[in-house]
Amino acid sequence: MPEPSPGQPVPVLDEVDRRIVAELSRDGRLSVRALAERLHISRANAYSRLERLQRDQVVRGFAARLDPVRLGLGTSAYVTLTIEQNSWRGVRDRLLRIPAIRHFSLTGGDFDVIALVRVADQAALREVVFADLHTIPGVRSTRTMIIFEESADDMILRDRP
């Protein structure tokens, strides 16, 4: 799905929309019928709201939540990159081609990019950092932070006390 343009208005969500998103965050395979029953709304209402949330790109897709360790990706790290000014587009294009990078963001502050890397072991992590990241034109330096434990691999909206 295409990225929303910067000038595009942000959709206004009411309480029912937020409850739909929360339910789908917990179970993306939930049927419209089950969703309607859980929220005590009609199926037609649930269906039309879900269609609107998808059209407005609030809901951008449905995916399985995976356990990286059970997938053989037992080593995870955040790698920060400092890049040369005006090299973002080229760096982004190269980062998109590295399968071990699961997510990355352009940031402000002490570094320019932070990337989540998932690999089998430390030898594979070393390969990603030195053979992949350090060879990208525009990358000036990296810092690697090993992840010892994680609370979640995805965004789940929870009810707050």
The chain-wide mean pLDDT, for the chain, equals 90
* pLDDT over threshold 60, residue 48: yes
Handedness of CA 123, 128, 132, 135 (dihedral sign): negative
**Quick one: pLDDT band at residue 3, thresholds 50, 70, 90?**
low
Question: Binning pLDDT at 50, 70 and 90, where does residue 160 land?
Answer: very low
Residue 99 · residue 113 · CB < 8 Å = no
Query: Can you give the residue range of the structural domain that contains 42?
Result: 15-55
Considering the domain architecture, whether residues 34 and 93 belong to the same structural domain is answered as no
Looking at the DSSP assignment, which residues form a beta bridge with residue 24?
none
- 45 and 82 both lie in a single domain: no
Number of structural domains (the chain) is 2
Give CA torsion, residues 54, 59, 62, 66, to 10 deg.
Answer: 170
Q: Would you say residue 33 lies in a domain? A: yes
pLDDT band at 97 (very low <50, low <70, confident <90, very high): very high
Alpha helices in the chain (DSSP H): 15-26, 32-39, 43-55, 88-95, 122-127
Residue of higher predicted confidence among 39 and 64: 39
